[in-house]
Chains A and B, each alone.
Chain A
Amino acid sequence: MFDDLAELYQDVILEHSKRPRHGQRLACFDADAKGDNPMCGDRVQLFVRHAADGRIEDVGFEARGCAISVASADLMAEVLRGRTDEEARQMAEKFRELARTGKLAEGAAGAADEALETLQPLAGVHGYPSRVKCATLPWHALIAALQGRKEAGSE
C-alpha cells in the first residue's frame, strides 16, 4: 500500500528514527541551541562539544518530532564529528539544497562529499514539500548553536 513511500522512509531513516545513536544530551558541551517548528510542534535541542583543536568532537540531541526530523538529527550528529565549524556550515548549506531539490549542488567537494553520501537517504523529502522543514530543522539548530544563538526557527 505504501510502496511509493519507500523513497521517503528508507530503511536507514526508519532505523535511525527508532534507535537514534546520538539521541541524548551531552554530559559536557560548549554550544547548544533549540530548533522549533511552531507550525507542527517539532522541537530539537542540540548539544555540541568542540575538541581542543576546535573541531567538533561530539554532538547529541533531544528531539520530539517525526521520523524524518529524528533521523535527520541523528545522521547529522554522525557526520559532524571531526569537522570544523566552517565545514559544518558548508554541509548545512549543501544539505538544505539536497533536501529541497533531491540533488547535490555543483561543486560539492572534499569532506562534505563523503558526509553527503551518508545524508543521501534524506534526499527523498524533496518530493514532500511539507516535510522538507522536518529534515532541515536540526541543521538550523546547528547553525544557531555555532553562532552562539540559543534558538533557531525553521524555514
Chain B
Amino acid sequence: MNVVSLAKEPAAKSLAEARADFPILGQRVHGRPLVFLDSAASAQKPRAVIAAMVETMETQYANVHRGLHWMSERTTEAYEAARRAAARVLNAREAEEIVFVRNSTEAINLVAHSYGRGVLRAGQAVLISEMEHHSNIVPWQLLREARGTELRVAPVSDAGELDLETFERLLGDGKVGLVAITHMSNVLGTVTPAGRIVRMAHAAGARVLLDGSQAIVHRPVDVQALDADFYVFTGHKLYGPTGIGVLWARRELLERMPPFLGGGEMISEVTFERSTWATVPHKFEAGTPAIIEAIGLGAAIRYVEEIGYPAITAHEAALTGHALARLASIPGLRVLGQAEDRGGVVSFTLERVHAHDVATLLDRSGIAVRAGHHCAEPLMRRFGVDSTARASFALYTTMGEIDALAEALAKVREFFR
C-alpha cells in the first residue's frame, strides 16, 4: 500500500464532523489548542460513550444476571447487547464466544493461565514475535516457569516486518502449541499478515492468539476470515472506557479450558465438596463484571460502526502518509520501521535529543505524544534505541495536527542545537 500517494486532506465530511463528538478535543493545554497524538496509548471518548455510561447510572443501573427486577433486567440486556456488539465487530460466530475482561493484558493472561496450563504440555512451545508488547511476552514467561513450556521468538526485519521465513522455520518441529502475536505493532505501526500467520501455524498444528489492541482501532477484523483461535482487544483504545476488554475464542476452546478466576457468576452449582461451572462465556466472568464499562464499550463499537471502517482506514492512511512525508524532511529524525502495511502509529528518534525532552517540549506546544520504551523493551533493543517518541493517530486526528507536530519538531531540534 502506497500511503504517501493518499496524502491529501480526506474528503470524508463525516470524520470532520466526528471530531466535534469528542468534547475533550476542545481543551487548551499550556494556553494552546490540544493536539492529541497519543491515541495508541488510550483514545479519547465520544459523547455517545460518555452518555451511554451516564445514562445507565442515572436511569437503570443494577447488578446483572442476578436481580429478578426491572432494573437488573434492563442492565443485563444492555450488558449482553454490548457482548453482541463485540461479537459483531469481530464477526464472531456467536456472542457466547465473547468473554469480557479488564483489558488485553488480562485476556492474554487468561489464555496463558487457562489454555496454557490446562491444555498445553511441558515440552510444547509458545511462539511470539520480537515486536510484542510486554503484555504478550511476560504471561508466556510465567507459563514457562509454571509448566515448562518453551518460549520462542520470531525476529523482525530492519523494515519492522515479521520475518516469515524464520517464523515458519520455528514452527517446523511441530512443538509449537500456540502462536501469540500482535496484529499491529504499538511501536512500529506494522500490521502483521495475520491470515498467513494463521495458515502457517495451523499447518504446523499450532493454535493462534492475535493481539488486536491496536489493529481493531484502525482496521476491520474478521476472526472467521482470519481463521484465528483467540483474538484479544481492549476497550479504551477503541474509544471506549478503561476497565473493559474482550477475549474472543472459538467456543470449543472456551469449553475445553478450565476457569481462570473462581467466584460468583462463573458457577453452575456450589457445594463444599465440589462446584460445577457455568456455560461459556460466564465460566470466565467471575464476580460482578465491569457493567457500566461494558455498556460504554458497546456504545463505542456502535459509534465506530456508524462512521465505518472504510472511512477510518482511508483517513488514517492519509494521515500516516502525510506524517511520514513531513517527518522525513526533518534532519536527524529517524522513523522506526518502514513496513509496507502499517497503521497510524509512528515512532521516531531525534538526533542528540532524548525522547523525554522531545515530549516535554511538544507538550508545551500543546502536543501530546508518548515517549519511552512503549512496553516493548525487546523491540527497542532490536532497533538499538532506549526509547522513542511516538505519535499516533485516531479517527479525530487532522492533517493540521500533523503539520503542527512537524513544525514543533523542527523547533525542538533548534532548541537543542
Chain B positions 340-386 with a Cβ under 8 Å from a chain A Cβ: 352-357, 360-361, 364-365, 371-373, 377, 380, 386
Confirm or deny: A26 has a beta carbon within 8 angstroms of a beta carbon on chain B.
Answer: no
Residues on B with beta carbons closer than 8 Å to the beta carbon of A18: 352
Confirm or deny: B387 has a beta carbon within 8 angstroms of a beta carbon on chain A.
Answer: yes
- The contact string, 1 if C-beta is below 8 Å from chain B, for chain A 99-113, is 000000000000000
Do residues B416 and A41 form an inter-chain contact, with CB atoms below 8 A? no
Do residues B416 and A67 form an inter-chain contact, with CB atoms below 8 A? yes
Q: Which of A1, A41, A128, A134 has the most CB of B within 10 A?
A: A41
Residues on B with beta carbons closer than 8 Å to the beta carbon of A9: 357, 415
Residues on A with beta carbons closer than 8 Å to the beta carbon of B356: 40, 42, 65-66, 68, 131, 134
Do residues B364 and A2 form an inter-chain contact, with CB atoms below 8 A? yes
- The contact string, 1 if C-beta is below 8 Å from chain B, for chain A 65-77, is 1111000000000
A42 to B356 alpha-carbon distance, docked (Å):
10
Do residues B386 and A41 form an inter-chain contact, with CB atoms below 8 A? yes
Do residues B361 and A5 form an inter-chain contact, with CB atoms below 8 A? yes
Give B31's nearest chain A residue, CB to CB: A4
Q: Give the size category of A's interface with B.
A: 20 to 34
Residues on B with beta carbons closer than 8 Å to the beta carbon of A131: 356, 360
Confirm or deny: B408 has a beta carbon within 8 angstroms of a beta carbon on chain A.
Answer: yes
Give B377's nearest chain A residue, CB to CB: A41
A134 to B151 alpha-carbon distance, docked (Å):
34
Do residues A40 and B372 form an inter-chain contact, with CB atoms below 8 A? yes
Give A39's nearest chain B residue, CB to CB: B372
* A2 contact from B353, B354, B355, B415, Cβ within 8 A: B415
Residues on A with beta carbons closer than 8 Å to the beta carbon of B411: 1-2
Do residues B360 and A5 form an inter-chain contact, with CB atoms below 8 A? yes
Least Cβ distance of A68 to chain B in Å? 8
Give A128's nearest chain B residue, CB to CB: B360
Q: Which of B30, B357, B387, B416 has the most CB of A within 10 A?
A: B357
Do residues B371 and A40 form an inter-chain contact, with CB atoms below 8 A? yes
Confirm or deny: A8 has a beta carbon within 8 angstroms of a beta carbon on chain B.
Answer: yes
A40 to B375 alpha-carbon distance, docked (Å):
9
Q: Which of B356, B365, B386 has the most CB of A within 10 A?
A: B356
* B372 contact from A8, A14, A41, Cβ within 8 A: A41
Residues on A with beta carbons closer than 8 Å to the beta carbon of B355: 66
A9 to B415 alpha-carbon distance, docked (Å):
10
A128 to B364 alpha-carbon distance, docked (Å):
11
Residues on A with beta carbons closer than 8 Å to the beta carbon of B408: 1
Do residues B372 and A66 form an inter-chain contact, with CB atoms below 8 A? no
Confirm or deny: A64 has a beta carbon within 8 angstroms of a beta carbon on chain B.
Answer: yes
Least Cβ distance of B134 to chain A in Å? 10
Least Cβ distance of B352 to chain A in Å? 8
Do residues A8 and B360 form an inter-chain contact, with CB atoms below 8 A? yes
Residues on A with beta carbons closer than 8 Å to the beta carbon of B352: 18
Residues on B with beta carbons closer than 8 Å to the beta carbon of A2: 361, 364-365, 411-412, 415
Given contacts A5-B360, A40-B371, A131-B360, contact A67 B30 (CB under 8 A): no
* A41 contact from B30, B357, B380, B412, Cβ within 8 A: B380
Name 15 A/B residue pairs within 8 A (Cβ), A-sorted.
Answer: A2-B412, A5-B364, A9-B357, A14-B416, A39-B372, A41-B386, A41-B387, A42-B356, A43-B386, A65-B354, A66-B355, A66-B356, A67-B353, A67-B416, A131-B356
| Beyond A2-B411, A5-B415, 15 additional pairs, beta carbon < 8 A | A1-B411, A2-B412, A4-B30, A14-B416, A40-B356, A40-B387, A41-B380, A42-B356, A65-B354, A65-B356, A66-B354, A66-B356, A67-B416, A68-B356, A134-B356
Q: Which residues of A contact B (CB under 8 A)?
A: 1-2, 4-5, 8-9, 14, 18, 39-43, 64-68, 128, 131, 134
Identify the 3 closest CB pairs spanning chains A and B, nearest first.
Answer: A66-B356, A66-B354, A41-B373
